[in-house]
Structure formats: C-alpha cells, structure tokens
Structure 1
Amino acid sequence: MATPLWRDRRFVLLLGARVVSVLGNGFARVALGFAVLALPGASAGRLSLVLACQALPQLALILVGGVIADRMSRSRLMMLADVLGAGAYAALAALVLTGHAPLPAMCLLAVAAGTANSLFAPAMEGLVPLIVPAGRLQRANGLLRVGTNTSLLLGLGLSGVTVALVGAGWALALNAASFVVSAGLTGLLKVAGRPRVRASGWTELREGWREFASRQWLWVVVAQYAVVIAALNAEVGVLGPLTVEHQGGARSWSVIVGAQALGTIAGAGLAARVRVQRPIFIAALSTFPAAVPMLLLSLAAPLWLTAAAMFGAGVANDVFGVLWSTTLQREIPEHVLSRVTSYDWFGSLALAPLGLLIAGPIASSAGTSWTLAGCATLVVLATSAALLAPQVRGLRTPAEVRVAEPEVSRTR
C-alpha cells in the first residue's frame, strides 16, 4: 500500500511552504488595493495602474520562467522567487507605513512582485509530478489546494480587521514575512537539478510551443481563460472594492472574497476525490458560475447573496484548477512541462493587465454596475465558445489512472 501523502516529507514541505506563503498573500490581496486608495490623490485610475504593473511582468516574463524551470532545479527557482517577493512586499510595506509612497515607486515594486510570480508559477507546476506518482496527482493537487485555500481564507478573514485596526502597511509586511518562511521551507526540498541543456533558449521555447499548439483542448481553454481572467481581475482588483468602498469598505470586501476562499476549500476537497472521465469538459463547465457574483455586484445585491454566489464560484474555480493541473501533469512530457505551463500562464494572463488597466476608467465613464455586467457577459460567451471544441468535450482520463485508486464517484 502506498505511503499516505501526508507522510511524504517532500510533499509536506511543499505543502507547508505554500500554506505559509498564501497566508501572507491573503493579507496582501485586500491590503494592496486599500493601501493605494488611502494614499493622497488616490483614484480608480491609480489603483488600476498599480495592479496592472503587478500583472504585466507575469505576462512578459512567464515564458522566461518556464525555460529556466526546465533548465535548473525547480525547487531552487521557487526559493529565489520567494526571496524576490519578500523584498518587494517589504519595501511596499515600508512606503505605506512611512506615508511616503510615490506612485512610480509603488509601480516599480509591483513589477518586482509580479516578476517573482512569473518565476515561481511554472516551477511549481513542474515540481509536483517530480514528487508525486502519476496515479496520485489529482489527490495531491487537491490536497495542495485545500491547504492553500484554507490558508488564504484565514488570511482574508484577518486582513480586513488588520487593515481597519493597524493599517494596510502592516498587512503588507506580514506578506513579506510569509515569503521568507516559504523560501526557507522550499530550500529544504531535495529535488535534483535538470540535465545540462546545450540548446538555446529560443530553441527550447519553440519546442514548448510545439507541445502546446499540438493539443486543441489546451490552447482553446487557455484562450477562454484569457477573457475570463481579465474579467475576474477587473472584478476582484478594481470593480469589487469600488462597489463596496462606501458600503462597509475593506470589511465587506473581506467577507465577499472570504466566502470565495471558503468555496475553494470545498471545491478542492471535492475535486481531490471525485474521478471524472472527461476532465477538461467538466473543468470548462465549471467556469460559468464565475459570472454570477459579477452580475449580483452590478445589481447592488445584498452582501449575503453576493457572498453566497462567491462561495459557489469558489467551489467551481477549484474544481477547474485541480482537474486542469492534473491533466497538464499527466498529458505533457515532464521535460517540457514547465515550458508548456508557461505558455498556459502567458495565454491565460494575456489580457489580465488590460483588464486591470481599463476597468477603472471604464467604470468612471460608464458606471461600475454596467462594467461588472459586461464582465459577466464576457465570461459566459468565452466559456460557451470553448465548449464547442471537440477535444475539450472528448479528452478522457487514461484508464490506468482511473483504476490507480479506489473511486469515490464518477462523473461523465
């Protein structure tokens, strides 16, 4: 009988590092937006600019991160990314706490934080199958998401109180500290370095592109999520805080995003146990609920109703996340996995900076409610289009994987 994952030292170290890091990110997710809004001369446009600066490097450098992650030890690259993230958030916290936070400096540090993520994400996706056997990947991805989502919920639950009592600066400082702890735990992982590669970076990028473009299910869903993530970023980063700014502010928004985080815990736990024969089809279907809270926010629905919709969207989001990560790790050869993952991130984030950048100005001219309704419409249209692709509907889990572990239930 296989050793339980929670007894695997490397898996536990990876889970611990992610839990600590995401706990800090829970604080930053609320604190950064309200830190910018609290500065002199704050406006929706300035908030959009800072958040766009954070998102832009994730798009511009993610392909570089994929090449590096396929060339060196993925755990070491994750540790270096954590160190960079710690420095960026520590400096942001210092600017906010001292009350001297010029916009160019905030934007520059936001770029550094985004760069850290562009290095971390491809390495993380490629590291899991080096630690976990193929037949247990879905359970491992589910457990990782349960742990990190629980941590995110705790961070979000405490962030509103922290911002209200001691200010956004200290919340950002806690995020910086979490990156330091995460770097220490990740450094204890013993994962072999990559074989020396003599090919150029451009050659490796082309190889990754061939693997990516040859799979219809992969590029269709990535194109779908380019639209979906742009809409979600506009909602969570700009339009949501603007909507509740005078209706409870940070505390109300913490309740809403906290409900979403609670839903992701339930969704990850469900996805870790349920076996599906058509994982990409189920993953694509699970995107539709993301439109509901956008519509409710646009209609100024009661807080409890919007929070309930965000809970449902959170459940669906992590069903998608677990099924998507597991399918990538099973279907893509390990030696190009980080590069293919980087194309996934690159495509999915292609419109994210634009969504953040234009959300504030459009809301100022057309109104926040109409802008949110437009975001909901985009999510529905993009998801409906993705479901038309034959491979999205038809890709099936390999038979040997379906019988690797006892099935709790099966969804067609």
Structure 2
Amino acid sequence: MITVLRQRAFRRLWLSHTASAAATGLMPTALILAVLDRHDGFTALGLVLGARTLGFLLGALPAGVIADRYPRAKTLAYSSLLRAAGTVAAALLLDLPTIALCAAVLLAGAGEGVFRSAYQALVGELVTEEHRHSANAATTLSLRICLVAGPTIAVVAHSGLGRTASLLIAAGLWLVAAALPPRHGAAPEGSGRANAFVDFGEGLREARKHRWFLAGLAALVLWLALGEAAKYLMLPIISQERFGGDWLIGAALGAYSLGAACGAVLMSRWQPRRPGVPAMIMLGSYGLVPLALAFAHQSWIIIACCAIGGAGIEIFNIPWFTAIQREVPQHLQARISALDFLVSYGMSPLGLALLPAAIAATGGMLVLTVCGVVVIVAALLTLLVPGMATFTDPRRPDPAKQPLGKTATAAT
C-alpha cells in the first residue's frame, strides 16, 4: 500500500475517497440524531433513511453510463458536490415537512451512487495492473476505519455543537473530496455518445460474457439479502433475550469492523495465485454469523464469527474489484461496477422486508439456520463455475495483455 500511495495521481484519488468515506460514516448517525430531535422524529426516521437508500440506487443506475462517457475525475468531483449540496439542504430543512428533508437526503444518496462506480473505474484507469490489488486494499482499509470513526464523530458533534453540526461537517468533507481528485480530464477511451439505454445495454452484454462475475454477484446478493439482513434483524433480539442487554450489538459490530480492517491489511500483503478460492470460501464464512446467532449460547462465539465474517468480505472484495479492473475493458468498467452495486445493494432491502414475516411464521432459529446454510453453500458452489478460481473468463483473451493506451500510465 505504501508503494502505490507514493504515486501522486492515486494518492490524490485515495485522499478524495477517504474524505468521502469519512462523510459517509458520519451521515447515517448524523441523520438519525438530527431527525429524532423533531417532534415527529420516530415516524420520519424510516422515511428519511429509506430516501437515502433509494437515492443511492437511483444514482447507481445511470452512474456506469455517466462515468464511462465523461471524464471520471470530473464525475467524482461533481458527485461529491451533489452530496455536499444535498447534505447542506438537509441541515437547513430539518424543521420543514418530511418530504422536503427526504428530497434533500435522496439527492445526497444519488451522489454516493455515482461516486462509487466512478471511483472503482478510475482506480483501474490510473493505476497499473501490478499495483491495483494494493490500491484496492488501501481503499478498503481507509473505508473501514472511517466507517468506525464516523458515528463517534457524529455523536460528539451533535452533543457539543448542535443537531446540524455533524451534517455540516459531512458536507465539508464532501467539498474536500470534490477538490482532491487528480486533474485527469480525458474521457475513457472507447466511450461513445450513443443513447444512454444503448450504453447500459452494452454494459449488460459485457457482464454476461463473464461467468465468474455473474456467479459471484449471485453469491453476493444472497450474502446481503440473507446473511447481512438476518444479522441486523436478529442481533438486537438475541442480545436482549439471550444475553440480557444491548452490549452484544456494539461488540459484534465492532468485531465485524475490526475483522474487515484486518482482512484489508492481509490482502495488501497477499496476492494469491487463485484469488477466487479464498475469496469465495471467506465470503461464505459469513454464514457462520446467522448460525452462531441461532445456536451459540456464549457471546464470544457470536463475536468471533462476526470478526471472521468481516475479514471474509474484504478477502472477497479486494480481488473482486481488482478482477473487474483487469478483465473488463476500460471504457466499460464503470458500467460493470454500477451493475455490481445496483444488483447487490438493491436486493438487500428485499431481505429486510421479507425476513421478518418468515421469522414470525416459522421462528427465528429456523430462519437463521436456513440463511446461514444458504450463504455458505451458495458461495462454495460458485467455485464450480469455470474461471471462478482465478476470477478470469477462460473463453476470452486477457485484457491485461492488450495495449494499455495512454490513460493506463497516468499514475506516473
């Protein structure tokens, strides 16, 4: 990671992402605290948080086309400005009707959806192949640290400076993120000016060419819709009923974040020859979390499984992002990343909506058991897909062996 951070272009990009990640870590807690201060806070809270998620999905939908059609550094800057504007508006509209606040938060969420896809594609554009794995590890590590620190900063700012302070701090961080991307003004090579629907269809056709991508995406959907959703729904209940308080919630989520940070550090030092094997095994390891919630009567087992699950998602994420940057043509990378975020995160609310009914009908233990087993089995079954073990498609030539073009050397 130190080596790749010495490259000026990536260092600026990484600092922009870190400022953005800090604001992203602040935002949910800042919104929760600010909205709950309203007289209708509890009623409005679900609508406001839902508007943020909806905004992210609406932003992720066109994000790939935008970032593949226009200069990605400028796309990053404009998306950060959009989030800053939405967050400032949210701070100013706290006492107005909920619909106005939701509109502001939706705007900020849309900027986040655009930022993520453009960032992943820009890493592939600016960083040479030999350093992309380390660049993705550095990205993940800073993100995890910011997601842990952000809520604490939000609480301190809310307590000491008032309910709008943490929102304004987040907006300021996004202004910093907008100013930092490297000055790289060229549009991606091969980008066209066709109809946006045609461009999006081209991205779908590219995704279908990569069997490892489709299989991994299916496993990731189940990870989010079953494993992650089951954890968030049942962890508070298990903590109260089995362990007599809420302390397990903080311990388990903290262990997850610590495990994720350790996974990022590990992957910064380790580049396996068959990255898909540890990636899919460790993605499946998250199934241990709902299984532990179902059967464990000692808290340390649940905490340990959350730590393993946190490490597992980063052992998956880092080679996954690196593979997309390596295997997908550069002018299509943002569309593939957008499809990744759109499908996987778009299915997560579905799990949160459907699992409570299943739990009420059949009981929490059965649902947790099924979720855990499905997550494990689905991840392991993907290793039967040709090319999954190496995250490459054996039917296609390796794009890394093709001419890199003038943008591939921009990191120097």
1:12 alignment partner in structure 2 = 11
SS in structure 2 at match of 1:314: helix
Q: Given the superposition, is the C-alpha separation of residues 336 and 6 from structure 1 closer, same or farther in structure 2, using an over 3 Å criterion? A: same
1:192 alignment partner in structure 2 = 186
CA contact (8 A) 1:159 1:254 kept: no
CA distance in structure 2 between the partners assigned to 1:48 and 1:356 by the alignment: 13
Shift of 1:74: 0.5
| 1:123-176 alpha-carbon deviations (Å, 9 max, x no partner) | 111101221111111111112222332233332454566667777754444323
Deviates further, 131-140 or 378-387? 378-387
The residue type paired with residue 211 of structure 1 is E
- Residue 335 (structure 2) pairs with residue 336 (structure 1): no
| 1:82-140 alpha-carbon deviations (Å, 9 max, x no partner) | 112223333444555xxx37543444334223211221122111101221111111111
1:322 alignment partner in structure 2 = 318
CA distance in structure 2 between the partners assigned to 1:218 and 1:394 by the alignment: 11
2:82 alignment partner in structure 1 = 84
Correspondence for 2:286 among 281, 284, 290: 290
CA contact (8 A) 1:264 1:316 kept: yes
- Residue 204 (structure 2) pairs with residue 206 (structure 1): no
CA distance in structure 2 between the partners assigned to 1:33 and 1:240 by the alignment: 20
Give matches, 1:377-396, under 5 Å: 377-393=373-389, 395=391
Give matches, 1:151-170, under 5 Å: 151-159=146-154, 170=165
2:139 alignment partner in structure 1 = 144
Deviates further, 368-377 or 69-78? 368-377
TM-score normalised by L of structure 2: 0.80
Shift of 1:244: 6.1
1:309 alignment partner in structure 2 = 305
The residue type paired with residue 317 of structure 2 is G
CA contact (8 A) 2:71 2:184 kept: no
Q: Given the superposition, is the C-alpha separation of residues 394 and 152 from structure 1 closer, same or farther in structure 2, using an over 3 Å criterion? A: closer
CA distance in structure 2 between the partners assigned to 1:327 and 1:234 by the alignment: 27
Report how many aligned residue pairs link the two structures.
392
Between the aligned residues of both structures, percent identity stands at: 27
Q: Given the superposition, is the C-alpha separation of residues 80 and 245 from structure 1 closer, same or farther in structure 2, using an over 3 Å criterion? A: farther
Shift of 1:212: 0.7
Pairwise CA RMSD of aligned residues?
Answer: 3.7
TM-score normalised by L of structure 1: 0.80
Shift of 1:271: 1.1
CA contact (8 A) 1:57 1:111 kept: yes
Correspondence for 2:214 among 212, 216, 219: 219
Q: Given the superposition, is the C-alpha separation of residues 343 and 42 from structure 1 closer, same or farther in structure 2, using an over 3 Å criterion? A: same
In the alignment, structure 2 segments of 5+ residues that lack a partner are: 402-412
CA distance in structure 2 between the partners assigned to 1:289 and 1:299 by the alignment: 16
SS in structure 1 at match of 2:388: helix
CA distance in structure 1 between the partners assigned to 2:380 and 2:158 by the alignment: 39
| 1:380-405 alpha-carbon deviations (Å, 9 max, x no partner) | 3432443342332464697x99xxxx
In the alignment, structure 1 segments of 5+ residues that lack a partner are: 402-412
CA distance in structure 2 between the partners assigned to 1:299 and 1:50 by the alignment: 35
The residue type paired with residue 196 of structure 2 is G
CA distance in structure 2 between the partners assigned to 1:367 and 1:323 by the alignment: 37
Deviates further, 109-118 or 221-230? 109-118
Shift of 1:340: 1.8
CA contact (8 A) 1:75 1:189 kept: yes
CA contact (8 A) 2:284 2:377 kept: no
CA contact (8 A) 1:11 1:131 kept: yes
Correspondence for 1:128 among 117, 123, 127: 123
CA distance in structure 2 between the partners assigned to 1:292 and 1:257 by the alignment: 15
CA distance in structure 2 between the partners assigned to 1:338 and 1:347 by the alignment: 14
Shift of 1:222: 0.9
CA distance in structure 1 between the partners assigned to 2:6 and 2:324 by the alignment: 25
The residue type paired with residue 193 of structure 1 is A
CA contact (8 A) 1:58 1:349 kept: no
